A and B are shown apart, each in its own frame.
Chain A
């Protein structure tokens, strides 16, 4: 039984832990404070062991020269020279530069029509999620701290919605295309379900598709360009400042699980988790010590009250927090590893 706990901790450290194992780990951690101590110490040991080889990584390998000299001495008559130089490309996730680099904000891209048109705007404060039925029977789950705006009767030759924040869309199939505008990035569909995360302050737009096919476009100098089509379980993340984007396969139901009050985070920096918690619970969360927001964690939460979520995250990250005036402040834990004061 004890061996099993070590196996789980190692899997967590190596980031190969499965969903079921992660649940097992969380449950085991909750059983006894000794388990939390074992977790912390083991993580420390694994981390230290990894750094055993750190110096080696800083040394420039010169050995190949020795070997190649030896090989060349041998190949004196025979020019079997394969001659090619191997160009080592750094690993590239599919990143492509979109259009010209002079991207600039079209704040009111969708509002160029005459001011006689009426709009419906729905604004969710932090901590409040809502489900919205649109005139065409499409459904939007709108997250906390997010807002949408659309033409009152969904008139026009396009069904157009603008979004600042995060929402899950379940779009009814119609001939008229459904367009979501988030800054300069627009997502176009006919009938599909997908998640868009586009908080203007994050300067990035992430579109994840659950079902159907989704087209993601970028507007540059008034013209729309297709960035990419996405199919189920595909995700694109666009940096709206640089225009660089990354495309990935992902578990779409994990990304949109927030609509059911489930959260899944797989090896993400803890500041991202805290950002989601802010939107979900409507609390202000701040990192006091520098750099700690970059700690990576893997966790899942189902319908848990905020305190439980925070406690668990603190065990996983080795940090600690205090609550003051309804705000949460996160610090590095006490150096001596003793019990932290709350």
Chain B
């Protein structure tokens, strides 16, 4: 029954000390929030911690909170907390690939694009993504997260939807250029 409630209804219940409402919101947004954090922290465990702290903070402040749009609040807070985390951390991880892909198994064989490239090329693209200008990287990755659409990105980053779109296209163009450059190098080498 809680599953069918809207964000507003759940926020309302939350204000009235309903912990099941909090849990529903948690389950609804947990994954996209972790992905969102990971864009900045590049570390999933850190992302999980940040989100856990965020929800605890929301619970603690539930009675005097005047949150109008909890989804925006969650994603904006997640972003801010992740950026803070990065600044505090001394040894930033260079690439998400270092942590994540050791035991990576590409299960989904239904896209020949992935098969064509092989694990190598996908890793290459992922490495290049981390080399993109920050804003292009942010927007490219965010646009791949479930439940985060252009409008949400524009609201969280405080920019226009049009800017989100053009930056997204720029990121793709830039990656295509980087890929071409890198193949040129290898064929010469």
Q: Is B110 an interface residue (CB 8 A)?
A: yes
Q: What are the residues of chain B within 8 A of A63 when measuring CB–CB?
A: 26, 30, 48-49, 51-52, 55
* In the complex with contacts A44-B117, A44-B121, A67-B56, A49-B144 CB distance below 8 A: yes
C-alpha gap A51/B117 in the complex (Å):
13
Say which one of A78-86, A153-161, A258-266 lies at the interface with B. Answer: A78-86
C-alpha gap A200/B44 in the complex (Å):
49
- Contacting residues of chain A (26-47) with chain B, CB-CB under 8 angstroms: 38, 40-47
- B114 interface neighbour in A47, A55, A66, Cβ under 8 Å: A47
List chain A positions with a Cβ less than 8 A from chain B: 2-3, 6-7, 10, 38, 40-57, 59, 61-64, 66-68, 70-71, 74-75, 80, 82, 84, 86, 88, 269, 291-292, 294-296, 317-319, 332-333, 335, 337
C-alpha gap A261/B38 in the complex (Å):
49
Distance in angstroms from B14 CB to nearest chain A CB is 11
B contacts with A, residue count (CB < 8 A): 60
> Do A86 and B144 touch (CB < 8 A)?
no
- A53 interface neighbour in B104, B144, B173, B175, Cβ under 8 Å: B144
Interchain residue pairs with CB less than 8 A apart (11) = A44-B114, A45-B175, A47-B122, A49-B129, A49-B140, A51-B114, A51-B122, A61-B34, A63-B52, A333-B116, A335-B118
> Do A41 and B179 touch (CB < 8 A)?
yes
Chain B window 15-58, contacts with chain A (Cβ cutoff 8 Å), 1 for yes, 0 for no: 00111101110110011001100100000100111011001100
> Do B165 and A61 touch (CB < 8 A)?
no
Distance in angstroms from A131 CB to nearest chain B CB is 37
Q: Is B2 an interface residue (CB 8 A)?
A: yes
* In the complex with contacts A44-B113, A53-B145, A56-B34, A71-B19 CB distance below 8 A: yes
Q: What are the residues of chain B within 8 A of A291 when measuring CB–CB?
A: 109-110, 115
* In the complex with contacts A63-B48, A332-B116, A48-B122 CB distance below 8 A: yes
The chain B residue sitting closest to A61, CB to CB, is B30
The chain B residue sitting closest to A317, CB to CB, is B112
> Do B111 and A295 touch (CB < 8 A)?
yes
- The 4 A-B residue pairs with the shortest CB-CB distance, nearest first, are A55-B100, A48-B125, A63-B52, A318-B112
C-alpha gap A43/B30 in the complex (Å):
27
